[in-house]
Chains A and B, each alone.
Chain A
Amino acid sequence: MKTLAPATEQARYIGQSLARPNALRLAEGRGTYVDDIELPRMVHVVYWRSPVAHAHIVKIDASFARMMPGVVAVVDGPQMAKICKPWVATLTHLAGMKSAPQYPLAMDRACWQGEPVVAVVANTRVEAEDALQYLVVEWEALPALIETETALDAGSIVIHPQLGDNLCFTRSLDTGGVDAAFASADAVAEVTFQFGRHTGVTLEPRCQISDYNPSEKRLTVHHSQQAPHMMQDLYSRQFGIPESQIRVICKDVGGSFGIKVHAYPDDFATVALSVLLERPVKFVTDRLESFTSDIHARQHRVTGRIAANKSGEILAFEIDDLTGIGPYSMFPRTSAIEGNQVVNLVGGPYRHQQYRAKLNVVFQNKAPTCQYRGVGHPIACAVTEGLVDAIAQKLAIDPLVIRQQNVIRDDAYPMTATSGIKLEGLSHQQCLDKIAVMMDYPALRAEQAALQKRGIYRGIGIAALIELTNPSAAFYGVGGARISAQDGATIRLEPTGAITVMVGVGEQGQGTEAIFAQIAADAVGVSMELVRVVTGDTDVTPYGGGTWASRGAGIGGEAVLQAGLALQKNIVGVASVILKRDVSEIALVNDAIVEISSGQSLMPLAELGRVAYFRPDSLPAGFNAELMVTRHYAQRDYPFIFTNGVQASLVEVDVDTGFVKLLKHWVVEDCGRVINPMLVDEQMRGAVVQGIGGALFEECLYDDAGLLQNGNMADYLVPMAAEMPDIEVAHVETPTKTSKLGAKGAGEAGTAGAPAAIMNAINDALSPFNTTVYSQPITPQKILRALGKV
């Protein structure tokens, strides 16, 4: 691997595989998750949720529930609507997008199974659940719209009559010469892809404690959330409480994956209860209600076409995407982003000149969908890479070769891709070359052919991908969503020479705090043991966007770097005054001020801290030691900084049973500067596993009435260790020039590429039978049907 120049003069930690300082605390069970927090006078809420997909709420009889022991309150939608404004989740830059007003609790109509309708509050969770059984809600089932395919038909019910139809958002993109390209092509392939609706299953469910103190008119919310400042802003606006009177604390978060970056109706309902009852209210979703109240994602049907010349040159892509998002667009990021991403990303790695896309985002009576790890990328990548394999097969060109032939050249950047996305600098060619060596591609192909003669059907699938990271305000801010695109970091020198780093980007279990400590230690020039990182508290950290869109390292990390460099400069300034030496002669290295010429230590940092904080009288008049600095960073050069990578999968398909055995998975990824290789590898592996979940296992299965049939951990199949392959990860580093750190995001690319690689590998294994499977999750039954065996 080409070695990058270090990001800082001292490079002790950046680039090293270091264990996370917070790992031991979490492994020992000494984390502070929301449910670990007990506040005085705290009560517990459970929600009565709609048991059906669409219902008119006729009457709520809480008289029996109120008689139950420990019950504090039973509150319905109209009561809450008096103190919490409804919201409509749209973005102005998604032209024409529409949704309907949504309330903390359903007012007189529930629109999906799982929508919260009534809150039951009691002294303990058990008492609340006991009382819930005695709540009598009279409802009348309404006709439900379940299938996306019929959502826009004239005869279908319109979920929100005031909107006129069930179309949330539509978009078309056309480069103009698509028909001509298809007409002139030597080969055309067309495929219809199905993607099953699934969800992100976090180890810690969504949970919250809302604590309203009427004497101060102050709201404190402990929340398992990815974007504390966003929630502070939303609570402020929906409840009319000044922002400065709201504190959101997100301490340890047990996994998020995008599930915890949205503002759920029950989030607002829990805050409303705390305001009404003037005491702390705890809400913890249980695993069963998580399945019907957490966001879902990825329900798409995409018909795609690809055109190419005999030589293998790809000329054009065309897609038509239909996606169902539930009855409301999710607040505040909206549910149109996923489909919009699919349109932006299809064909992303390639040099074709023509592209046409059509997107329809429709309402339906199922759980709302929204951004989940990878957001649109797994769909776009599977469509693109499935089409590339389809055309390669038609042309009898090797799948690796056709990719090497068609990817955008490594020296072509910066450039604008055919869909209009701006690409700063990618390394498709290097990545493809590297993975071919890693997997010993020719040997694998030879082995595949030899085994096939013995009736063993192995397949090799390759997927090139691009991944959106380090977003500018183009994602949400320009569309009117008050979600910060910038992030800040404050670093303070303590009198002992230690430093405290406060960052707007939080920790979700992925190691963000570890890399911030690495960056801060190098930037300031101190040992990592002397670094303490504080995140997840709107009262404490600089304002920031939080953790999403693979922005933590690239945006938050750059803010930490800049703050660290600025603090180092200030410290050297103080040292220069104390030591009466010119700043050019001295430096801060390894916890001490040293003489540059000799390398000799002149003063430990702790001594500088002592003088600066306790003996400022000894410093010259008019000199102030500024030993706490804040810097902010926003990526403003491109809408997004894309990363790239390639994944490959080796599978064996049992053609009698339709079972797929995952034998091996390879990843070459380019997230720019790698701050901690071990953590990036862990992110890649975890994300690949989540991608495999979507490809083979996970699906929210609804019946014809819109009832979720597998909302439990026995029937909803998350990927588990026994079925996972070894995942080998390697890196290419093309740093972004938009920051000094040069880091891009690494959290989502694994999820983006894995479904495509797995699907292509399965279809490669099935190729001797001239059949294919393009419906995910790819179950044994779907494979058996493709083989004509059932």
Chain B
Amino acid sequence: MKAPAFDYVKPHSLAEVFPLLQQYGDEARLLAGGQTLLATLNMRLSEPSVLVDLSAITELRGLTLAGAMLRIGAMVTHSEIEASALVAQHAPLLPLAAPHIAHRAIRNLGTLGGSIAYADPAAEWPTCLLALDGVVVAKSATGERRIRADDFFVDLYTTTLLPGEIIVACEFPVASANHWCDFDELARRHGDYAIVGLAGAGQRSENTLAQVRLVFLGLGATPLRALQAEGVVKSQPLTASLINQAVAALKNELSAVGDLTSDAATKMHLAGVLLKRMLMKQMQSKNA
């Protein structure tokens, strides 16, 4: 299929973007890699009148350490994150998750900001942002604001980003010496949106995890934190029975929406397997 006609603008600074958003409102779409948007245009699921290509705006690029936060520009690609030594050092969860994002050709073009703004509940970056207690940096013509990931993803493909606002960067707390993180997901084919996935992060001391955040992708309308399961494992030495309690808590607190080949029960079962395996791995690595 062929995309319907649209205008195309390629601004070179953020200052040029805001008037365009003001002028076109809902009729404008930001092109931030295009790995989702262009397919929806070709399928005529979306018919914006203008595409604003963000690829030439240097302010949206770059990976920098800013105090206690690692700042990753919205237009940094998945591949750049995957390969960055700075990210590996300060936000090691991200390179663990990156290889699961689609395929190399898509990772070369798709961007962090694009993925966060689209807010697909099965995507890896929103889940990681939430697990790491990250912050979305949004800018509009009137100023900048920081939105915690916990407050950002509100429903299916829906965020608290306001009209006229664009994501300029995401900030991740820099990993401390006892930082713990892990990522795993179950996809029938490598690179597909997973049936279910899990990002875990926290502080590790011997066999105990503290400040644990456990975030699932693919279960519901947004990435979902398992708060009760977090509560079970928090600050207690990991044991097989504690891990089973955490899995039970997870199944008690969250429910899943089934997809075409995995119903809600299957998804919840698989979520429990992922949680159990991730915690067992941590427990065994400490006991070894």
Contact = CB atoms under 8 A, between A and B. Distances in A.
Contact of B266 (A656, A719, A790): A790
Contacts of B262: 779-781
Given A657-B273, A784-B266, A723 B189 contact: yes
Given A780-B195, A780-B262, A717 B189 contact: yes
A657 B266 CA distance: 9
A779 B269 contact: no
Contact of B44 (A129, A717, A723, A790): A129
A129 B2 contact: yes
B186 interface: yes
Given A126-B2, A129-B44, A130-B4, A784 B188 contact: no
B252 to A, nearest CB: 17
B12 interface: no
5 contacts: A659-B186, A710-B260, A714-B193, A717-B192, A722-B189
B269 to A, nearest CB: 5
A720 B269 contact: no
Interface residues of A, number: 28
Given A720-B190, A779-B188, A125 B2 contact: yes
A422 B190 CA distance: 44
Contacts, number: 63
B1 interface: yes
Interface in A572-604: none
A717 B269 contact: no
A657 B189 CA distance: 14
B188 A697 contact: yes
A789 B269 contact: yes
B191 interface: yes
B186 A781 contact: no
Interface in B1-25: 1-2, 4-5
A701 B262 CA distance: 13
A266 to B, nearest CB: 16
A715 interface: yes
Contacts of A172: none
A709 B273 contact: no
A416 interface: no
A288 interface: yes
Contacts of B2: 125-126, 129
B142 interface: no
A286 interface: yes
Interface in B250-288: 260-263, 265-266, 269-270, 273, 277
B269 A790 contact: yes
Interface in B202-243: none
A701 B261 CA distance: 9
B43 interface: yes
Given A288-B43, A723-B190, 17 more contacts: A126-B5, A129-B1, A129-B2, A130-B4, A656-B273, A657-B273, A697-B189, A709-B260, A715-B260, A720-B191, A722-B189, A779-B188, A779-B261, A780-B188, A780-B262, A781-B261, A789-B269
- Which one of A697, A710, A779, A790 has the highest number of Cβ atoms from chain B below 10 Å of its Cβ? A790
A133 interface: yes
Q: Which of B190, B193, B263, B273 counts the most A-chain CB atoms under 10 A from its CB? A: B273
Contacts of A720: 189-191
Interface string A282-301: 00001010000000000000
A657 B270 CA distance: 6
A714 B192 CA distance: 7
Given A126-B2, A697-B188, A723-B190, A790 B260 contact: no
A714 B260 CA distance: 12
Nearest to A782: B261
Contacts of B5: 126, 130
Nearest to A712: B43
B197 to A, nearest CB: 12
Interface string B133-154: 0000000000000000000000
A95 B255 CA distance: 54
Interface string A367-398: 00000000000000000000000000000000
A677 to B, nearest CB: 30
**Which 8 A-B pairs give the minimum distances between C-beta atoms?**
A722-B190, A126-B2, A781-B266, A790-B265, A286-B1, A656-B273, A790-B266, A790-B269
Contact of A781 (B1, B4, B192, B263): B263
A697 B187 CA distance: 12
A656 B43 CA distance: 38
A784 B273 CA distance: 12
A775 to B, nearest CB: 12
A710 B43 CA distance: 14
Contacts of B195: 780
A701 B260 contact: yes
A657 B261 CA distance: 14
Contacts of B269: 784, 789-790
A133 B44 contact: yes
B133 to A, nearest CB: 29
Which of B5, B195, B266 has the largest count of A CB atoms less than 10 A from its CB?
Answer: B266
Contacts of B192: 714, 717
Contacts of B193: 714
Nearest to B262: A781
A771 to B, nearest CB: 16
A779 B189 CA distance: 11
Contact of B188 (A125, A129, A717, A789): A717
Contacts of A133: 44
Contacts of B260: 701, 709-710, 715
A125 B1 CA distance: 8
A419 B273 CA distance: 48
A767 B193 CA distance: 31
Nearest to A44: B2
A779 B259 CA distance: 13
Contacts of A717: 188-189, 192
Contacts of B190: 720, 722-723
A701 B5 CA distance: 32
A779 B263 CA distance: 12
A722 B262 CA distance: 21
Nearest to A124: B2
Contacts of A709: 260
A126 B188 CA distance: 35
A297 B265 CA distance: 30
Contacts of B265: 790
A286 B43 CA distance: 10
Contacts of A780: 186, 188, 195, 262, 266, 270
A294 to B, nearest CB: 16
A659 B44 CA distance: 35
Interface in B166-206: 186, 188-193, 195
A781 B270 CA distance: 10
A789 B1 CA distance: 42
Interface in A98-133: 125-126, 129-130, 133
A477 B230 CA distance: 70
A21 B90 CA distance: 52
Contacts of B263: 781, 790
Contact of B1 (A288, A714, A719): A288
A220 to B, nearest CB: 26
Interface string A714-728: 110101101100000
Contacts of A286: 1
A657 B273 CA distance: 7
B98 to A, nearest CB: 16
A710 B44 CA distance: 17
Interface string A674-701: 0000000000000000000000010001
A448 to B, nearest CB: 23
Nearest to B193: A714
A286 B3 CA distance: 12
A139 to B, nearest CB: 20
Interface string A748-786: 000000000000000000000000000000011100100
Interface string A206-247: 000000000000000000000000000000000000000000
